[in-house]
């Protein structure tokens, strides 16, 4: 029997409630009678001791340690006990945690370990590490350390009770990696990283605790680098710790990998494995896939959410965990910072270093993370527009997946190659690369109608974002023809994009028809229902846009309720849905409810990473309308200014669709009496509008009405009258128009004529 194993198991048992210790020891010892007997003897000796901090001997009156009064025990282990205490020193009051070391089994190293912990923590100043404040010894000679009190929960319980999603868990774990990186840069190994030593406070900040068995890597503390009978937590110990070999920072990285594994699956990888078998098990047994061990209840998820969760655990994330928990230290990450960088890469959809990806893998990641709005603003040597769609459709193809994936990859790489300036003699613009790709479809995708349909839909999306409406219509029409016979969710996606095009062209009836047809095509599986939630939201937005708020409101609510029942819903989609719901509530006159919904959406959106700036810009634009209606003109103008600034930041000053937001800003300025500023904003809107708004679109009419109001405020009645007439002419050609628009334009024309404009 290994005495080190007995001490480790004894330490682990002491961390449990007394009535659970015997069962835990029996399970871990698993037939090793000598180990079981020795640990139970240690527990019996501990139970009969009359040490200073034995719970059974807790006095009725408070205990004092210098300036500190002990309030209640927070936890107990073989190394001693941690108490909640408070300092009352004159007018100074502070709550602290005091760790009092037990002189365990007459261990002569207890005092030195306490001093080491004080010195380690004194060297470390980091927002995610609990600070040391004081230290000393009790009257009985037991050393103690006074630490910053962290009022929080264990990191695993924090994640479970709040049902944090994958990305939120990874962002929280990155805080832990940052703390451990600081520890390692101070030439310290923690050696006991586990959920119980990482708390998360009320602000969602992870805090690293308990340096009781930490080790110095240099000579600052004599004797601190020895190995031997040092306590550890077996379930999170590295193979080299279990074998009592010399340690490096790699042992902490292994424990961090196990911690991440547990946060992603809900289950400790080595739980229940007897200590006597653990070293061999790690060496001989490849860990099962993360998805195979994911436990919905332990993760705090509804069972229906587990499938999407497991899908996202595979691939790169699996490789990151595998690298961190490699049995050989040399195969793990070189540092906590490298570990963090790979997780950040996963969050940003970039290639992870844990995967030795080839050119196609790296290319796919590059395309996926570069969204079209970035590409629209300048030249591109690659077609960023539809890389995501191509990557996604590869995973969606069930029949002949391998062949179709090869075709899709070849098509994509050929398109990139054709965009090479060395091939064409000059840098190729994004739209040129897409034009060439579209022309190559018949030759490269012959005989694959469904793959061709998906590629054409993706290209149609790209053309739509580039304001190439005719080209978009051509690609989408062909995609719809190829998909119509099979129908289903993918056909609904094509119809949805066609609806967006018709909406842009101010063909609202056609757009509504296409949206409703797409809703009928959605399958009843999760993929189809996710699209259905998007379609319901888009249709609600269309109805809001045409003033049919009472019809839009139930659709927006249904879309949001459906998102709440589904897993894998993108946070951005939820944000847009909340914004549309707030807009509909405004439209039906429920202003207080609308404001609450806007506030909820704004808080939610500002908490997303990366920040969805264009969606927030739209939300702020609509919120400004509401504030205007509620008579808060100054706040309304400020909100509108924020909307315009966000759009400029992302899309630049010449983005055509900035015209509508500038028109709204001009309206706010005019109503607030800021006439010169209103004139500048409406002039810029009129400059941009022809490139982004069709001349018969009622939105152009709305812009002209604002221009007429500004002109009248500037004292130019003839110009105001002309713009009001132009707006009325557009409204006359619009079959579906929000109530009151024509009347406002007519009243403005009459007012201009009263101020001297000649009637026509």
CA distance 662 to 644: 7
Angstrom distances, CA of residue 167 to CA of 172, 236, 441, 503: 9, 23, 37, 34
CA distance 572 to 165: 14
Indicate the DSSP class of residue 129: B
> Are the beta carbons of 367 and 387 closer than 8 angstroms?
yes
DSSP per residue over 345-387, as a string? Answer: HHHTT---TTS---HHHHHHHHHHHS-HHHHHTS--SS-GGGH
Catalytic residues: 192
CA distance 696 to 713: 26
Helical (H) or strand (E) element with 63: strand 63-65
CA distance 577 to 403: 38
DSSP per residue over 649-682, as a string? Answer: HHH-TT-TTHHHHHHHHHHHHHHTT-HHHHHHHH
**Residue 98 β-bridge partners:** 83, 146
CA distance 566 to 577: 14
Of the candidates 612, 524, 517, which has an alpha carbon nearest to the alpha carbon of residue 573?
612
Helix, strand, coil percentages (3-state) for the chain, rounded to 5, are: 65, 10, 30
**Residue 143 β-bridge partners:** 137
Rounded-to-10 torsion of CA 607, 609, 610, 612: -40
Angstrom distances, CA of residue 301 to CA of 154, 304, 315, 438, 545: 18, 8, 21, 43, 36
Indicate the DSSP class of residue 759: P
């Amino acid at each position: 029997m290994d005495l080190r194993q007995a001490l480790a198991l004894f330490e682990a048992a002491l961390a449990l409630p007394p009535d659970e210790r015997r069962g835990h020891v029996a399970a871990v010892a698993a037939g090793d009678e000598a180990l079981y007997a020795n640990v139970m003897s240690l527990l019996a000796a501990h139970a009969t001791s009359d040490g200073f901090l034995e719970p059974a001997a807790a006095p009725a009156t408070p205990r004092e340690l210098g300036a500190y009064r002990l309030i209640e025990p927070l936890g107990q282990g073989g190394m001693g006990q941690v108490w909640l205490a408070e300092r009352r020193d004159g007018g100074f009051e502070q709550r602290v945690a005091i760790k009092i070391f037990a002189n365990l089994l007459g261990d002569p190293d207890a005092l030195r370990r306490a001093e080491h912990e004080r010195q380690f923590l004194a060297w470390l100043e980091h927002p995610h590490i609990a600070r040391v404040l004081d230290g000393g010894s009790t009257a009985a000679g037991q050393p103690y350390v006074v630490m910053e009190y962290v009022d929080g929960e264990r990191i695993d319980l924090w994640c479970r009770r709040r049902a944090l999603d994958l990305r939120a868990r990874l962002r929280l774990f990155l805080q832990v990696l940052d703390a451990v990186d600081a520890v390692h840069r101070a030439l310290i190994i923690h050696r006991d990283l586990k959920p119980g030593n990482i708390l998360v406070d009320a602000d969602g900040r992870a805090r690293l605790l308990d340096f009781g068995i930490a080790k110095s890597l240099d000579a600052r503390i004599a004797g601190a680098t020895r190995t031997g009978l040092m306590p550890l937590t077996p379930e999170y110990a590295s193979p080299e710790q279990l074998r009592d070999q010399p340690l490096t920072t790699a042992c902490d990285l292994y424990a961090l990998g196990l911690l991440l594994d547990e946060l992603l699956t809900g289950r400790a990888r080595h739980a229940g494995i007897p200590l006597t078998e653990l070293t061999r098990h790690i060496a001989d047994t490849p860990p099962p896939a993360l998805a195979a061990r994911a436990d919905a209840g332990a993760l705090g998820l509804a069972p229906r959410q587990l499938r999407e969760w497991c899908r996202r655990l595979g691939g790169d994330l699996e490789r990151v965990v595998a690298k961190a928990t490699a049995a050989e230290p040399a195969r793990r990450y070189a540092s906590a910072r490298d570990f963090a960088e790979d997780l950040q890469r996963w969050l940003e959809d970039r290639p992870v270093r844990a995967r030795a990806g080839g050119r196609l893998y790296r290319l796919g990641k590059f395309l996926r993370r570069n969204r079209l709005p970035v590409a629209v603003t300048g030249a591109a040597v690659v077609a960023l527009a539809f890389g995501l769609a191509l990557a996604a459709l590869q995973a969606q193809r069930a029949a002949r997946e391998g062949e179709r994936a090869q075709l899709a990859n070849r098509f994509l790489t050929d398109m990139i190659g054709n965009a090479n300036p060395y091939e064409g003699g000059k840098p190729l613009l994004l739209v040129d690369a897409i034009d060439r790709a579209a022309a190559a479809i018949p030759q490269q995708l012959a005989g694959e109608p469904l793959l061709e349909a998906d590629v054409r839909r993706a290209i149609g999306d790209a053309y739509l974002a580039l304001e190439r409406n005719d080209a978009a219509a051509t690609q989408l029409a062909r995609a719809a023809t190829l998909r119509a016979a099979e129908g289903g969710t993918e056909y609904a996606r094509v119809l949805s994009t066609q609806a967006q095009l018709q909406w842009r062209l101010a063909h609202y009836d056609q757009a509504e028809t296409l949206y409703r047809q797409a809703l009928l095509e959605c399958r009843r599986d999760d993929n189809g229902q996710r699209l259905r939630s998007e379609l319901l939201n888009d249709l609600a937005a269309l109805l809001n846009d045409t003033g049919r708020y009472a019809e839009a409101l139930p659709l927006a609510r249904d879309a949001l309720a459906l998102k709440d029942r589904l897993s894998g819903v993108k946070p951005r989609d939820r944000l847009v849905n909340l914004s549309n719901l707030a807009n509909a509530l405004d439209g039906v006159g429920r202003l207080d409810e609308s404001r609450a919904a806007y506030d909820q959406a704004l808080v939610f959106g500002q908490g997303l990473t990366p920040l969805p700036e264009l969606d927030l810009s739209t939300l702020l634009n609509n919120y400004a309308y509401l504030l205007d209606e509620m008579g808060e003109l100054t706040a309304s103008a400020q909100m509108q200014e924020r909307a315009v600034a966000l759009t400029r930041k992302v899309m630049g000053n010449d983005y055509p669709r900035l015209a509508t937001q500038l028109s709204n800003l001009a309206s706010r300025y005019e109503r607030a009496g800021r006439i010169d500023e209103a004139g500048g904003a409406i002039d810029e809107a009129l400059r941009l509008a022809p490139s982004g708004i069709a001349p018969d679109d009622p939105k152009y009419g709305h812009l002209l009405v604002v221009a007429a109001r500004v002109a009248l405020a500037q004292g130019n009645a003839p110009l105001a009258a002309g713009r009001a007439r132009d707006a009325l002419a557009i409204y006359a050609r619009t079959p579906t128009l929000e109530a009151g628009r024509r009347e406002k334009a007519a009243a403005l024309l009459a007012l201009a004529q009263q101020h001297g404009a000649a009637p026509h």
